[in-house]
Structure 1
Amino acid sequence: MTLRGFVLLPLLLLAACSAEEHEVAEPVRPVRSMVVEAQRPMGFSLPGTVEPRIESRLGFRVLGRIVTRNVETGDTVARNDVLAELDPTALDLAVRSAEADYISARAQLAEAAGVAFRQSELLQARAATQANFEAADRQRRTAEALAASNEAKLAKAREQRSYAELRADFDGVVLATYAEVGQVVNPGQPVLTLARPDIREAVVDIPDEAAALLTPGMSFNVFLELDRNLRVVGTIREIAPSADPATRTRRVRISLDNPSADFRLGSTVRVTPGQEMPLVIRVPDTAVLTEGDNSFVFIVDEQAGVARKQAVKVEPAPMGGKIVVSGVESGSRIATAGVHTLRDGQAVKLGGGGL
């Protein structure tokens, strides 16, 4: 062996040792994990009140002073009943003035029409000029327009006079009054609230976490607070899109199905779900890896000892965390921390100190 061979041999051995070091298996990584279970949210029993679905705040369309108010809170009224009246003096004078203007305009029209007719007769007899006839006909058309204008003003004045009476638009019950006799009210200012008592619903404030699991059309049992033996079935009609910032509750309106007369407006009721709440899988935020518009979790395969990347569909859960809509089955074990540094197929082991 030459001197050159003795020099190269140690270098080759050193290179082989370096290659063996690179081929050493990656250490098994400990991870924190949890077994997810589909759970049914706890039921609830919450108080609410019976309210009308349809209610209107009624007010006069014209400015005036109230001279009569024929109803009080709680009164039942029929459609077209007079609920309150304004002092009609100014409106009556406006009608009389419009009537006088209309009568005057009609008289001017009759006179102008007569003049135009005579001028046409004279024109045919060649006793008047074409210019005289055209002037008379122009006066007739002007008087016609003035009469039409005054007729419209009279109709408007009479309509304004009818606004001095506040009438009920439908059969209902008076929920509240806001103005008294002698008070001057502006156009549109609320005088009273009228509600339809035939269409009733229960209004209840439900915690945000529970309300997020509700959907319109779900069935509820509604009990009268004074007598729990009185029950009516209702369905969710409306769920507030956002929670009240102070109470963190959402207002839910439940339509009552043929309620008895005992469920009067303003009655206190007790509301409970009429069907079981849906099963949901809830995971912490730290278990979800977000890449663009896609979400993933790492399912720990305990037998193979690896973490597998799984695409999932999630929704925000009230009070924090995520609700898994699809992609993970109940009973699966998922990594709950360090998901941003995990790789698909990476060797892992269960350990509370992992990241």
Structure 2
Amino acid sequence: MYARPTVLAVLTAWLLLCAACSEKPVQSEEKLIRPVRVAPVTLTGGKRLRTFSGTARAGVESKLSFRIAGSVMQFTLNLGDRVQKDQVIARLDPKDYELQVQEAEAGLAQAIAQARNASANYERIRGLYENNNVSINDLDAARTQMESANAQVVSIRKRLELANSQLTYTTLHAPLAGYIAQILVEENENVNAGTPVAVLNAGSHPEVTFAVPEQLIAKIKVGAQAKVRFDSLGTQEFNGTVTEVGVATAQLATTYPVVVRLGETPSEIRPGMAAEVSLILGETEDHARLFVKPIAVVEDRTERFVFVATPQAEDIATVTRRAVETGALTEDGLEILSGLEEGELLITAGIRFLKEGMEVRIPAAGKE
């Protein structure tokens, strides 16, 4: 009679325990989306037009300087003036050099007189020696004195030639026809030998210099044709030819200098003008090819493949495995013969965690 409540209590507790065990645990973990890096499939080769920013310069730029030191007495030209070859550019004060010429001339006259006296004395001593009136030592002494006097004449004549040359150096002439681009000193200013006093722009064909990044410099060759346009001259284009391709980067730079020489000589083009240079770069064949980063291509026992990231929303993309056929490995990357299209995004980092259809995140810093 007292056992029934106990059995009911045990049965109730057993039912409650079974119900508790049958409840599903609550999922508290959020879905994990892995970050990856991507790089686009690029189309390279064929005839592709590239445009670079450059600056005009004269075909020949000559820094003019005096060969001697002195005080600038006169500039005969002004900034921008056109000059002809051998036209006078500037003059130094010639007074000091004129005095050197006069001094050398006086010294030469004196040396010539002494040489004549020494020569006459030698002839006199030689006559006496032939008559046995003087010794051989006297004859040798007279000969030595004459030779020394003649050597002095030669030395002073050379000094006079130098003085005359230095006097002519007080006048600076234009080595080429052109125009004065810069005047670097003022009148009455003292200058040393070799100090530039003016800059002469010459040459019949102006040039344009521009910088080319390292990934493109190998595609530019001397002799390549170019089109050049100047911002200040509107839409007018000029033909040019690549004449120089740098083999070393400028200091603290990652670009290489290239020079294009224009085939025309319009007077409107001046050094320093901003220019745009257009060149056709690429392979000799007329078709373009697809290239990818080699790290994006994976190979298993059956095929070579890549993982394509298809953007879905914001920075989220879906992964698709795609079989590809590859070609040659070049400086542009690994050639793709089939399986991809230009602009598709390939995953280049985090590949070992990828599966078909999974979602990945492409952070802003993950695009190459």
> What TM-score, normalized to structure 2?
0.67
Please state how far the C-alpha of 1:282 moved relative to its aligned partner.
4.7
Q: Partners in 2 of 1:111 and 1:215 — Cα distance? A: 73
Map of 1:331 onto structure 2: 338
The residue type equivalent to 1:331 in the other structure is: S
Map of 1:184 onto structure 2: 190
1:56 to 47, 57, 62: 62
1:126 to 129, 132, 141: 132
Map of 1:88 onto structure 2: 94
Map of 2:318 onto structure 1: none
2:117 is the counterpart of 1:108: no
Map of 2:275 onto structure 1: 269
Q: State the Cα deviation string for residues 233-288 of structure 1 (Å, max 9, x = none).
A: 11112233455577755432101113333434444433222x3544576543746x
1:305 to 297, 303, 328: 303
Q: State the Cα deviation string for residues 1-35 of structure 1 (Å, max 9, x = none).
A: xxxxxxxxxxxxxxxxxxxxxxxxxxxxxxx9999
1:150 to 1:244, Cα distance in 2 relative to 1, 3 A: closer
Contact 2:52 2:210 in 1 (8 A): yes
Other structure's SS at 1:79 match: coil
Q: Partners in 1 of 2:39 and 2:209 — Cα distance? A: 39
Contact 1:201 1:253 in 2 (8 A): yes
2:239 is the counterpart of 1:233: yes
Map of 1:39 onto structure 2: 44
Please state how far the C-alpha of 1:224 moved relative to its aligned partner.
3.7
Q: Partners in 1 of 2:274 and 2:304 — Cα distance? A: 57
Alignment RMSD (CA, Å): 3.8
Q: Partners in 1 of 2:356 and 2:131 — Cα distance? A: 121
Q: State the Cα deviation string for residues 315-334 of structure 1 (Å, max 9, x = none).
A: 4xxxxxxx24xx85643789
Stretches of structure 2 that go unaligned for 5 or more consecutive residues are: 1-36, 306-325, 341-345, 360-368
Please state how far the C-alpha of 1:71 moved relative to its aligned partner.
1.5
The residue type equivalent to 2:293 in the other structure is: P
Q: Partners in 1 of 2:141 and 2:101 — Cα distance? A: 33
Contact 1:92 1:161 in 2 (8 A): yes
Q: Partners in 2 of 1:213 and 1:160 — Cα distance? A: 51
Contact 1:58 1:190 in 2 (8 A): yes
Q: Partners in 1 of 2:54 and 2:73 — Cα distance? A: 38
Number of aligned positions between the proteins: 294
Other structure's SS at 2:338 match: coil
Map 1:185-200 to 2 at 5 A. 185-200=191-206
Contact 1:35 1:332 in 2 (8 A): no
Other structure's SS at 1:159 match: helix
Q: Partners in 2 of 1:35 and 1:176 — Cα distance? A: 50
Q: Partners in 1 of 2:187 and 2:134 — Cα distance? A: 66
Q: Partners in 1 of 2:131 and 2:356 — Cα distance? A: 121
1:217 to 1:179, Cα distance in 2 relative to 1, 3 A: same
Q: State the Cα deviation string for residues 272-314 of structure 1 (Å, max 9, x = none).
A: 22x3544576543746xxxxxxxxxx77489x3369xx99665
Map of 1:16 onto structure 2: none
1:284 to 290, 293, 298: 293
Which of the pair has more CA radius of gyration?
A: 2
Stretches of structure 1 that go unaligned for 5 or more consecutive residues are: 1-31, 288-297, 316-322, 342-348
Other structure's SS at 1:260 match: coil
Q: Partners in 1 of 2:281 and 2:327 — Cα distance? A: 29
> What TM-score, normalized to structure 1?
0.69
User: Structure 1 stretches (4+) deviating beyond 6 angstroms?
Assistant: 32-36, 332-335, 349-353
Which deviates more, 37-46 or 229-238?
A: 37-46
Q: Partners in 1 of 2:93 and 2:40 — Cα distance? A: 76
Q: Partners in 2 of 1:268 and 1:35 — Cα distance? A: 33
2:177 to 171, 178, 195: 171
